Amino acid sequence: MKHLINNKLVVASFFCISTLILSGCGGGGSSSSGDETSVELPEGLSLSLLNAGTGAYYSFDTTTEARADLNELATGSQDSAVQNLAITDTSTIGHIYHWPDFREVNGEEQFDMKYVLMRPTYQAGSTIDADQMVQLTHFHDETLAAHSAEEFRNPAPGSGKEKGLLRLNNFVAEQSELEAEVTEVMPVGTQLCRAYIDPYLKFEEEEEHAAEEAEEETTEETEGEHEHHDLMHYALDTTGRMYFFTEEENGLEQAQGFVQLDEVSHISDCSRTTIARVSEDGVLVFIPDTQRLYLVDSHGGDFHQHSTWPVSALLPENETTDIVAVIGAGEEHDHDHE
């Protein structure tokens, strides 16, 4: 499991190298590296920020703090996969669907954190096909790139594209089940906005369970040892309250009191909110209504709002964003700063 996370951190660290080569990241208006103050977001993440009204599309590497204009990057590239990043029609922009794609390749487990730009017509929980997506984005080696929706139209039986769609829609079904499960235990009077489980920890738990079965360790004592009751279920409601639940013998149970995110009283579009991992101890949350990022973590204690940042700190002057996608495993955060 650790080698998967380390590999993705290496990918995130190399992201600006590719943008430096392809688009001059590090100087002029397409980079924040000349700013005097550091944003100090948790490292090991690549953020993609999209304005649904204008099509402005930027990436921000939290390790190098380099920003790149993805539309300019696409226009200047000779790589068709990078060209696919370009936003050419804002009427097709709905929201981002994060997809942690764990799969087996040549007998080895591999992982890619991907995100799919969905059309406004997509109904949450329904099957995703070429008609419902605009592009599927992830790292190709060290370079952020995308597959067009047309690549997934009528995929050949047994092809990689068909298998990819099957994995994606299996995850859609799992996410729907998670949301239903969390909704049942939400406090009375609350409305679920987003439910989230750390995909890395979930995968690690499933790996351990598979290893246990392979070794035919089926005693009650062994099974009990591998029940990871501490797999946290995060639940964000429509008023900006975040709840925390763990799996216990009788189902999900609330782990502590809620955390109220600053300046949030109502979330107008839950499909455009984001919850993403920053480490084993916490998550990064984006709320479009406040144009802010929130770090919610627990470092040896209860979950709490540790830090918050205006998203404008990641963007060129006077830019805003409606959607933030996050790729990467993150790392342990430095809790010394304010």
DSSP assignment of 247-284: EETTEEEE-S--EEPTT-S--S-GGG-EEEEEETTEEE
pTM score above 0.85: no
**Residue 111 pLDDT level (bands cut at 50, 70, 90):** confident
Q: Is 46 exposed, middle or buried (0-12, 13-18, 19+ CB in 10 A)?
A: buried
Q: Are the C-beta atoms of residues 292 and 311 closer than 8 Å to each other? A: yes
Q: Are the C-beta atoms of residues 71 and 56 closer than 8 Å to each other? A: yes
How far is residue 172's CA from residue 114's CA, in Å, rounded to a whole number? 13
Structure tokens at 72: 């300019």
Structure tokens at 231: 């797999």
Residue 5, SS3?
helix
Q: What is the pLDDT of residue 249?
A: 85
Q: What is the pLDDT of residue 213?
A: 66
How far is residue 228's CA from residue 143's CA, in Å, rounded to a whole number? 35
Q: Find the range with the poorest average confidence among 14-28, 81-95, 232-246.
A: 14-28
Q: What is the pLDDT of residue 77?
A: 97
Q: Which domain does 192 fall in, by range?
A: 2-327
Any domain includes 333: no
Q: What is the pLDDT of residue 318?
A: 94
Residue 59, SS3?
strand
**Residue 109 pLDDT level (bands cut at 50, 70, 90):** confident
**Residue 331 pLDDT level (bands cut at 50, 70, 90):** confident
Instruction: Say if residue 102's pLDDT is above 70.
Output: yes
Percent of the chain as helix, strand, coil, to the nearest 5 = 30, 30, 40
Q: Find the range with the poorest average confidence among 38-42, 174-178, 317-321.
A: 38-42
Calculate mean pLDDT across residues 175-189.
96
- pLDDT tens-digit map of 150-174: 999 999 999 999 999 999 999 999 9
Instruction: Say if residue 226's pLDDT is above 50.
Output: no
Residues 6+ apart with CB under 8 A from 8: 44, 111, 113, 327, 328, 329
Q: What is the number of domains present in the chain? A: 1
Any domain includes 336: no
Q: Find the range with the poorest average confidence among 24-28, 63-67, 174-178, 222-226.
A: 24-28
Q: What is the pLDDT of residue 219?
A: 53
Which stretches of 186-331 are DSSP H helices? 199-214, 220-225
How far is residue 243's CA from residue 236's CA, in Å, rounded to a whole number? 6
Q: What is the pLDDT of residue 332?
A: 53
Q: What is the pLDDT of residue 334?
A: 46
Q: What is the pLDDT of residue 257?
A: 93
- Strand segments, DSSP code E, in 76-210 are 96-105, 108-118, 133-140, 143-148, 192-197
Instruction: Say if residue 243's pLDDT is above 60.
Output: yes
**Residue 118 pLDDT level (bands cut at 50, 70, 90):** very high
Calculate mean pLDDT across residues 62-79.
97
**Residue 329 pLDDT level (bands cut at 50, 70, 90):** confident
Calculate mean pLDDT across residues 256-273.
97
Q: Count CB-CB contacts under 10 A for residue 166.
A: 11
User: 112-115, long-range: CB within 8 Å, 24+ apart, which pairs?
Assistant: 112/138, 112/139, 113/8, 113/138, 113/199, 113/326, 113/327, 113/328, 113/329, 114/138, 114/327, 115/48, 115/325, 115/327
Phi, psi (degrees; rounded to nearest 5) at 142: -100, 5
Any domain includes 334: no
Any domain includes 60: yes
Any domain includes 332: no
How far is residue 244's CA from residue 248's CA, in Å, rounded to a whole number? 13
Average pLDDT, the chain: 85
Instruction: Say if residue 215's pLDDT is above 90.
Output: no
Any domain includes 158: yes
Instruction: Say if residue 30's pLDDT is above 50.
Output: no
Q: What is the pLDDT of residue 23?
A: 35
Please choose, from the candidates 336, 335, 329, 323, the residue with its C-alpha nearest in 3D space to the C-alpha of residue 13.
329
Any domain includes 26: yes
Q: Find the range with the poorest average confidence among 8-17, 96-105, 314-323.
A: 8-17
Helices 199-214 and 2-23: crossing angle in degrees, nearest 10, is 140
Calculate mean pLDDT across residues 39-58.
96
Which residues make beta-bridge pairs with 110?
103
Any domain includes 181: yes
